[in-house]
Structure 1
């Protein structure tokens, strides 16, 4: 398993922390990412419900991306922690980049669990999903 973690350390109330994780683009490794997500969210003092929401959202985003991932490549995740917010960008190499459908159930789950969600296609062979979750943010009714 390729599991690379790099962190730029500042304290939680400081400017920003960034943690990057790279692992094989296979669902068998997603438990590593779920654990990292929970640990980092706990570092920001997210509630247990917020941590679980974020874990599920990251898992769902990865599942969406893995359907398009080139076999044998890596999935990368970058966690940016800034004060009371975590931004998670998960990304894979793809053969064909087709953005997620906004009316799919998986996309609706993402938008219900995270405060902001977007799909990014910075190049024709890469797809990313970016989630943002703020501590204590009220969920839409």
Structure 2
């Protein structure tokens, strides 16, 4: 009887650990660096494959040449919600409705009054 309880407890613990690991699984942070054109211009990161449908993407923005920039996720089928006024040192989570397995990238946009190209860089993961 004791052995049966120990086995059941071990199986339950394994399931909890495995479930916890699956919930934590996501894409790895990857670097991005893109030129964002002037006057509402756009720039894009490279693609990542979405692991969990609709899970927020994470971005850690390193720099944008002293300007603020807007960012969202982008795929061939949909766009995420814009995160406005991202500045150097900001970390954000980007809402989206991309499906699992979708190739997703970041889209950056300068403001209408930004009259120069800017260079955005940092790290991100699509989750």
Give TM-score scaled by structure 2 length: 0.29
Asked which structure has the greater CA Rg, the reply is 2
Higher relative contact order (CA 8 A, sep 6+): 2
Q: Which has the higher helix share?
A: 1
Give TM-score scaled by structure 1 length: 0.27
